[in-house]
Amino acid sequence: MLAALVTAEFWGKAMMYRAPMLVLLMTIATAGAAVAQSSLPWTRDFPRTDFAQRSIELAEIVTYGAKDSIPPIDNPQFAPAAGVTNIGALEPVLSIGIDGDFRAYPLQVLLFHEIVNDTVGGVPVVVSYCAFCNSGIVFDRRVGDQLLAFGNTGTYRHFGMMMYDKSTQSWWQQFIGEAVVGDFLGKRLEAIPARLESLAKFRERAPDGQVLVPSAPGTRPYGLTPYGGYDRPVPPSVARDRFPYDLPPGINPMERVIVVEDQAWTVDLVRSRGTMAAGDLRLTWEPGQNSVHDQRVIAEGRDVGNLLVQRQTEAGLEDVRYDVSFAFTFAAFVPDGTLHTR
């Protein structure tokens, strides 16, 4: 049953029946816990992974499908931003710019692939997006003198995506960019500044930029999401059972937060101020970005706004590495961090 829900077949069924994502999430957590505690169910897909080298408990791993059942994009295709018409102007994109090379990766595509191996401005990068966490992070995919390409393990931990590198089949926790199983144990990927912004804002700052487009548009329902209603607050009983993480009083696990290393601020706090300072950081919220987790049609999602973090330097403002994720994710993976609510 679990495989039918969350492998490739899941996407079609979720679209057809619009099953509440909270029910699906609870099903995955329950079924996955039983799978994870069996005797290394991943060895068939990962025969070269050394599971004896690990910094996590294997029982924390939830299996939803086979390796790359959510297929990564290894040969991305792009179109000029000005000419893209199948994406709503306020739909979210994860965007980067390196040495004048500006590229945007729409979340409507990343929902169905989660990982893009690319090279931007001469820098090899992996663009990663975890839908359960709403975590979109771009990493340099070089570790020492090794150039890596990444795929999807078909597992989650604390609802956070687990990637693997195709060279050693080490497993990496996407939210922190750290290898937690295998030969690369303890190694960290370097995060690259990226923005989660609307397509309209990307076009405004990079009119000659490029936008990722599907190589086979008809094979998946791009523009729709099976996560409709997922980012609504969960009741206290569900919060206690499914998100047993240490959060400040009054903070729902599904509340959006903006994360910079071991510090986070609620989006509501930044929204209430428009622009706020935190040391040498400047956090800004502006309206005009659809939630990818609200309505079935992403372009009809409610406005959750555009967030940006920059640092004041002698040369002016420069972009800072940040992530906009759910509060439970920050609490799970940065347990000693500080979540600012006022």
* Every domain of the chain and the residues it spans: 236-340
Residue type, 46: F
Characterise 61 by phi-psi region: left (phi > 0), alpha (psi -120 to 50), beta (else). Answer: beta
Please say whether the dihedral angle defined by the alpha carbons of residues 229, 231, 234 and 240, taken in this order, is positive or negative. Answer: positive
Residue 273 CA to residue 271 CA, distance in Å, equals 5
The DSSP bridge partners found for residue 264 are 259, 339
**pLDDT for residue 43:** 85
Q: How far is CA 188 from the centre of its chain?
A: 17
Residue in 42, 337, 334, 338 with CA at minimum distance from that of residue 160: 334
User: How crowded is the C-beta side of 207, counted as CA atoms within 13 Å?
Assistant: 1
Please answer whether residues 230 and 24 qualify as being in contact, where contact means their C-beta atoms are separated by less than 8 angstroms: no
**The Cα angle at residue 215 between residues 228 and 213, in degrees rounded to 5:** 60
CA 340/CA 334 separation, integer angstroms? 13
DSSP-assigned beta bridge partners for residue 77: 213
Q: What is the pLDDT of residue 26?
A: 47
pLDDT of res. 12: 45
Measuring CA to CA, how many Å separate 97 from each of 109, 194, 205, 231, 319? 19, 8, 10, 29, 10
User: What was the pLDDT predicted at 39?
Assistant: 52
pLDDT value of position 338: 97
Amino acid at 6: V
Mark the ranges of the chain whose per-residue pLDDT is less than 50: 1-23, 26-38
